[in-house]
Structure 1
Amino acid sequence: MSHSVVLVTGAAGGVGSAVRARFEEGGWQVVGVDVREGPGVDIIADLRTAAACHQAVREAISLHGRLDGVVLAAGLWTEGPTSDTSEEEFDLVFDVNVKGSYFVLSAALPELAKTSGFVTALSSDAGIQGNAGAAVYSASKGAISNLVRAVAREVAPQGIRVNAVCPGDIDTPMLAGQAANFGGGNPEQYLADLLSAYPQGERARFVQPAEVAGLIWFLAQKEAEAITGANLSIDFGLSAGI
């Protein structure tokens, strides 16, 4: 009996590794792709070129002979005044967050058509609302949020479903790095300021990677067949006021 196979980009990251664990728990074969070596990474690839994206998909198919799903979890954060954005910073964020996701998705569609598979991309609350001081990141995640809508309508006749999950801040090493890099020397206060925007007040906490992985797992199931072209928030209501 053939096992279902999912390709996960950003597999070395907090969300990517949680997604791998959840799908393996569910009996799926997982092919992890990342730019760096690490636990759960099967293919080393810098997905900032279309050629690298297509090669990663080919390698994933060669490992297990099929592809039933793709989770696009690779991404990076930046912030700062829009007037200070360099072209190099802009290109890096869009190459990782948008171009890599687009061309992995593009390369995978012919295989997913054979299995009536799914694609779930990691967008953000910043993909459905504007985050002041993070224009480049917000623009990149906005592109992902609308990409899934467009592609979902295009490939629906082939039985492929395409969605995005839109988390708030996730308790991962990436968030810790974000606080260290952009916290002005006070990462604890930076994180506290993020939490202060949540409607839970003193009960506020960050989303856990396993919670995001659980939502992505649900979207892969038969019970979610009616869900496509959706951006599903998982942010404690952070973006509910827009």
Structure 2
Amino acid sequence: MSNPVVLVTGAAGGVGRALVKRFIQGGWQVFTTDLSTEGLARLQSEHPACGIFAGDIRRPSTCTAVVAAALASFGRLDALVNAAGVWREGPVESFSEEDFDLVLDVNLKATFFMCSAAIPPLKASAGAIVNISSDAGRQGNRNAAAYCASKGGVTLLTKTLALDLAPCGVRCNAVSPGDIETPMLKFQAEHYGQGDPEGYYRELLAKYPQGDRACFIQPEEVAELAYFLCQPGARSITGADMAIDRGVSAGN
């Protein structure tokens, strides 16, 4: 029980699953949460030692309950990685309030209140927070105003928390990936590709500086960076927004 403990949100998703695997490989104890009970069940079947909590972290009361369950299971909390996220796109003039609320609530509100709930035990352990933001939190993406607003909020929330929590020894950093090869990316292509998912993928890859050599980021790459930021060797890194986007944001 002396091994460090990480809490991962959105754990049943592509990045979340990679995070769970990486932290377990590193000897950490892992507590997970996601809205999908089926996804968490599959995750626990692969990693039986994981703690799981199915719930809607758009509700602050759920965030509090998740952290309480993690502490009840493992007795401590050393890191929080907020990986829960959703994508909706479309022009602002026809974007629905329902989709706007979903994107802001999952991507920003849930991140805010998960941090809020986790801060007291993280102060006790001088732990770390890693928020998965996006290259869309650094520069605008066409037809993605709500998503960009949510991830821009995540990035600045991270920087503010880094300043607020530094005197307590708690570090807070953002990881900002480009397009990751996950079920969410598949959802984007199938729902917004106008019947041509491959064309949607080609349009996304066209923005990368590698040209014909461009390919999507792998979840394991994101997990590796997040894992590093939670290690004692990264103790001087806080308030950072670290790109992992194959250079797509380098010129912005």
1:40 alignment partner AA: L
Is 1:147 the counterpart of 2:145? The answer is no
3-state DSSP class of the match of 1:40? Answer: helix
Is 1:82 the counterpart of 2:92? The answer is yes
What does residue range 16-31 of structure 1 map to in structure 2 within 5 Å?
16-31=16-31
Percent of counterpart pairs with the same letter?
52
Residue 115 of structure 2 is matched in structure 1 by: 105
TM-score (norm 2): 0.95
**RMSD (CA atoms):** 0.8
Is 1:70 the counterpart of 2:85? The answer is no
What does residue range 1-242 of structure 1 map to in structure 2 within 5 Å?
2-37=2-37, 38=39, 39-40=42-43, 42-242=52-252
Deviations 1:81-127 (A, max 9, x none): 01111211111111111111100100000000011100000000000
**Residues in 1 aligned to 2:9 and 2:56: alpha-carbon distance in whole angstroms:** 10
**Residues in 1 aligned to 2:201 and 2:99: alpha-carbon distance in whole angstroms:** 23
CA displacement at 1:40 relative to structure 2: 2.5
Q: Quick check: 1:32–1:40 contact (8 Å CA) kept in 2? A: no
**Residues in 1 aligned to 2:15 and 2:249: alpha-carbon distance in whole angstroms:** 20
TM-score (norm 1): 0.98
**Residues in 2 aligned to 1:61 and 1:72: alpha-carbon distance in whole angstroms:** 17
- Gaps in structure 1 of 5+ consecutive residues: none
3-state DSSP class of the match of 2:131? Answer: strand
Aligned residues: 242
- Gaps in structure 2 of 5+ consecutive residues: 45-51
1:65 alignment partner AA: G
**Residues in 2 aligned to 1:34 and 1:142: alpha-carbon distance in whole angstroms:** 23
1:169 alignment partner AA: D
